[in-house]
Structure 1
Amino acid sequence: VEAAAAHRARLSAAMPGATLAVVSGYAPTRNDDCRYAFRADSDFVWLTGVQIEGAVLVMHAVPGGHDAVLHVPAPAHPGDPRFYSDADHGELWVGPAPAPADWQGVLGIPVRDPGRLAPDLAGLRDV
């Protein structure tokens, strides 16, 4: 976690004033509904230290650097209709998964739902 924070600081120093978005990506489909194993984009791993499918790291430019926010898909726990129907995030299919609040505690940066990504990026130019 400390190494990833240092990497974000290095990128922040190299890109002052720019808002940055780095995506983790998705596992490619092999055939029908079978996918290859997921491997996050190397830049995403370098900046976060984690491999979370469908996540987006946004670094908002602020005076003196950047504020990082990680957008992470929430798992579908038992009782959630997606528990059965969502093969990517339903815990029936993928097993127990950390909630966004758990990621925030481990990584030390704000974690939000991907549904808030568009409003967070609204109004930016050259994205």
Structure 2
Amino acid sequence: MQHRSKLNENPTPLGDKVECILKCKNRNRGEWSRRCYPSQAEAQAAQQTAQRELASRLGVANARIQPLQYATDLDMATEAEKAQLVAWKTYRVLLNRTDVSTAPDIAWPEAPEGEKAVN
């Protein structure tokens, strides 16, 4: 399969990977820039890595939430534990809203202060 570039009349072969796509940077001034995209295999690998990262972060959040939730359910939680529970639940909600399809450019939410999200 061949494609004729609008900027260059010489045909360029297309494989399963389109390395670069010309995009209009500023339509008013007619400037063009070259933006490169990962291959399909690279994109899939990045998404799989992001899925594993998400699962790991959710596992840590769930492990932190469970004992705090038990203490709260039994009216045994301190004020600090109640605050930690809210922080971890908020973090878990934000993780569930994280779009891993944009991998590797993912804006991961920060774990509650003083904690690491991933072991």
**Fold-level similarity (TM above 0.5):** no
Which structure carries more helix by proportion? 2
Larger radius of gyration: 2
Which TM class, normalised by the smaller chain length?
under 0.3
User: Normalised by the size of structure 2, how large is the TM-score?
Assistant: 0.24
